Amino acid sequence: MENLQTVKQRFGIIGNDLQLNRAIEKAIRVAPTDISVLVVGESGVGKESIPKIIHQLSHRKHAKYIAVNCGAIPEGTIDSELFGHEKGAFTGATATRKGYFEVADGGTIFLDEVGELPLTTQVRLLRVLENGEFIKVGSSQVQKTNVRIVAATNVNMHEAISKEKFREDLYYRLSTIEIPLPPLRQRGEDIHLLFRKFASDFAQKYRMPTIRLEDSAIKVLLSYNFPGNIRQLRNIAEQISVVEENRVISSEKLLQYLPNTQGNLPAIINGTSAKNDFSNERDIMYKILFDMRNDINDLKKLTLDLLKDGNSPQVQEENHRLIEKIYQEQQSDSAKVEVVQYTEPADSNTYDFIETIEEDENLSLQEKEVEMIKKSLEKNNGKRKLAAKELGISERTLYRKIKQYNL
C-alpha cells in the first residue's frame, strides 16, 4: 500500500491540511476493495482527484476508468448515455449503442454531480448497485456488468432526500464509504501553497517571471472566503500572472482580483432563488439578534460583578453612578435590574450588590417566532410543507424549529 506523501506526489495534490490528509488516507484504504464510495464537498474543492486515486490503487487499474458529469447530460438522454440503447428505441436512435456501464465493465465509473440524476435514472442505478444488472433503453434483455462506482456531489444529500429529489435507498448504497473534502477556506496555509504552485505553473506556461505576494497580500489571501474554492484561486492566479506587469503583488492590488471582498457578510441576491436566499438571511438575522441579546445581558452582569471590587470612597461613588445609569438603560429597554441589598457595614467600605434581570417576554423575538409558527400550522391543518411555504422558509428549517421549540 502506498503512503500518503507518495500518493500526493503521484496525483499532484498540494497541501498538508489534516482534513485533506484524512480524506486521501481513507481513499488509499478503500481502494483495494470494491466498496462504493461517495465523495462530498463544495464545488471546486477537487473531488475528481479521489476517484482517480481509488481506481489507480485498485485491482481494476488496468481496466477502463470513465468519468461522467451527470449534471451536464440532458435528462432525456442520460439513460441512453449510462445504459445504452437499441436501434429505433427513440427518434434519432439509428444504431445500437453501448452505454458507459457496458463499456466500463471490469473497471471504474466516476459519477460526478450524482445528486443531479433524475429519479427514473436513480432507479436504474440502484439496480446496478444491488445486483450488477441493467437494461438498455428500448430493450427487454437484462445485461450484467461488473463496475466499481465512485460518486461525488456538492448537494446536501439529506436535504435532497427530504425534498424527495434523491432516493434514500440509493444514497445509502452509494455512500457505503463517505469521503468529505474540506473547502479551501478551511485549509489554512494550504491556500498560499496552492497560489504559489499555480503562479509557478502559469509563469512557465506564459514564459514570464513568477508573481509573488507581499506579506500583507498573503494575509488578505488567507482571510478571503473563496466561495469558488481551488477553481477560483487558480483563476485569480492566472489573471494576475497575465495582467500585472509588476511581479510583486501588494494587498491593494490583490484586492482588485477578489470579487465581493466583503462577501463574508450575508447578502440577498436578486433572481429566481431570491426567496430561498431571503429565508436563509432571516434565519441568520434571528440567530444574530438572539446572540446579541444574550451578549448584552452577559455584559450587564459582568459590569455589576466588576463594580463589587471598588474600595475607595471615590470609586464607590463612581460605581454607584454607573449602577444607576445601567438601571435606567435597562428600564428603557423594558428590562429590570433590581438592587436587593445596598449596605455599608461599619467595618467595611465595600458595597454588596445582588442583581436580577427580568426580560420582557412580550417583546421576545423567539416568542413571536413560535407564535407565527403555531398560527401557520393551525391555519394549514398541521401540514408542514404548506406552513413552511407561507412562512417563507424551507420545510427542513420549519421541522428543526418545531423540534427546537417542542411544538
Instruction: Mark whether 343 and 386 lie in a shared domain.
Output: no
Cβ-count burial of 249 within 10 angstroms (0-12 exposed, 13-18 middle, 19+ buried)?
buried
Kindly report the three-state secondary structure assignment for every residue of 207-268: CCCCCEECHHHHHHHHHCCCCCHHHHHHHHHHHHHHHCCCCEECHHHHHCCCCCCCCCCCCC
Query: What are the cell numbers at 55?
Result: 481506481
131, 157, 133: which is closest to 144 by C-alpha?
Answer: 133
Q: Is the pLDDT of residue 345 over 80?
A: no
Share of the chain above pLDDT 90, in %: 60
The pLDDT of residue 287 is 61
Lowest-confidence segment of 29-33, 220-224, 393-397 by average pLDDT:
393-397
Q: Is the pLDDT of residue 129 over 90?
A: yes
Instruction: Mark whether 216 and 300 lie in a shared domain.
Output: no
d(CA 146, CA 2): 25
d(CA 278, CA 270): 10
The pLDDT of residue 283 is 60
State mean pLDDT over 82-89: 92
SS3 content of the chain, % helix, strand, coil (to 5): 50, 10, 35
The pLDDT of residue 334 is 45
d(CA 39, CA 30): 12
How many residues are given for the chain? 407
pLDDT range class, residue 268, cuts 50, 70, 90: very low
State mean pLDDT over 41-59: 96
**Contact yes or no for 279/393 (Cβ under 8 A):** yes
- The CATH number assigned to the domain holding 215 equals 1.10.8.60
Backbone angles phi, psi at 204, to 5 degrees: -70, -40
pLDDT per residue over 361-385, tens digit each? 444 567 777 888 888 888 888 888 8
Cβ-count burial of 78 within 10 angstroms (0-12 exposed, 13-18 middle, 19+ buried)?
buried
> Which runs of E-coded beta strand occur in 138-251?
142-144, 148-153, 177-180, 212-213, 248-249
Mean pLDDT of the chain: 82
Instruction: Mark whether 82 and 227 lie in a shared domain.
Output: no
In a domain, 328, yes or no: yes
Tell me the three state secondary structure of residue 346.
Answer: coil
Instruction: Mark whether 80 and 215 lie in a shared domain.
Output: no
Instruction: Mark whether 387 and 287 lie in a shared domain.
Output: no
- The CATH number assigned to the domain holding 370 equals 1.10.10
In a domain, 266, yes or no: no
In a domain, 299, yes or no: yes
pLDDT range class, residue 282, cuts 50, 70, 90: low
Instruction: Mark whether 176 and 197 lie in a shared domain.
Output: no
The pLDDT of residue 60 is 96
Say how many domains are in the chain. Answer: 4
Domain boundary among 210, 226, 255: 255
The pLDDT of residue 344 is 43
Q: Is the pLDDT of residue 348 over 60?
A: no
Lowest-confidence segment of 200-214, 265-279, 318-332 by average pLDDT:
265-279
pLDDT range class, residue 309, cuts 50, 70, 90: low
In a domain, 341, yes or no: yes
Instruction: Mark whether 240 and 286 lie in a shared domain.
Output: no
In a domain, 268, yes or no: no
In a domain, 264, yes or no: no
Instruction: Mark whether 352 and 212 lie in a shared domain.
Output: no
| Residues spanned by the domain of 325 | 274-363
* More confident site: 287 or 161: 161
In a domain, 262, yes or no: no
The pLDDT of residue 133 is 95
pLDDT range class, residue 281, cuts 50, 70, 90: low
Tell me the three state secondary structure of residue 245.
Answer: coil
Cα separations in angstroms, 258 against 95, 120, 165, 185, 251: 50, 41, 34, 14, 11
Instruction: Mark whether 52 and 177 lie in a shared domain.
Output: yes
State mean pLDDT over 221-229: 94
Cα separations in angstroms, 94 against 79, 86, 143: 16, 9, 21
Global pTM reads: 0.63
pLDDT per residue over 111-122, tens digit each? 999 999 999 999
**Contact yes or no for 393/284 (Cβ under 8 A):** no
pLDDT range class, residue 270, cuts 50, 70, 90: very low
Instruction: Mark whether 95 and 22 lie in a shared domain.
Output: yes
**Contact yes or no for 392/280 (Cβ under 8 A):** no
Query: What are the cell numbers at 340?
Result: 436587593
- The CATH number assigned to the domain holding 158 equals 3.40.50.300
* More confident site: 362 or 73: 73
State mean pLDDT over 123-136: 95
pLDDT per residue over 150-203, tens digit each? 999 999 999 999 999 999 999 999 999 999 999 999 999 899 999 999 999 999
The pLDDT of residue 365 is 65
Q: Compute the half-sphere exposure of residue 67: CA atoms within 13 Å on the CB side of its CA.
A: 12
State mean pLDDT over 265-276: 42
N-term to C-term CA, the chain: 53
Domain boundary among 145, 160, 182: 182
In a domain, 326, yes or no: yes
* Torsion sign, CA atoms 78, 81, 87, 91: positive
Instruction: Mark whether 89 and 194 lie in a shared domain.
Output: no
State mean pLDDT over 68-82: 93
pLDDT range class, residue 312, cuts 50, 70, 90: low
DSSP 8-state assignment for residue 187: S
Instruction: Mark whether 340 and 370 lie in a shared domain.
Output: no
* Residue 97 one-letter amino acid: R
Q: Which ranges in 132-189 belong to alpha helices (H)?
A: 157-162, 168-174
The pLDDT of residue 266 is 41
**Contact yes or no for 284/267 (Cβ under 8 A):** no
Residue in this structure with the C-alpha cell 477502463, named with its chain if needed: 64
Cβ-count burial of 198 within 10 angstroms (0-12 exposed, 13-18 middle, 19+ buried)?
buried
Domain boundary among 228, 255, 282: 255
State mean pLDDT over 109-136: 95
251, 241, 233, 143: which is closest to 195 by C-alpha?
Answer: 233
The pLDDT of residue 291 is 66
**Contact yes or no for 183/225 (Cβ under 8 A):** no
Tell me the three state secondary structure of residue 173.
Answer: helix
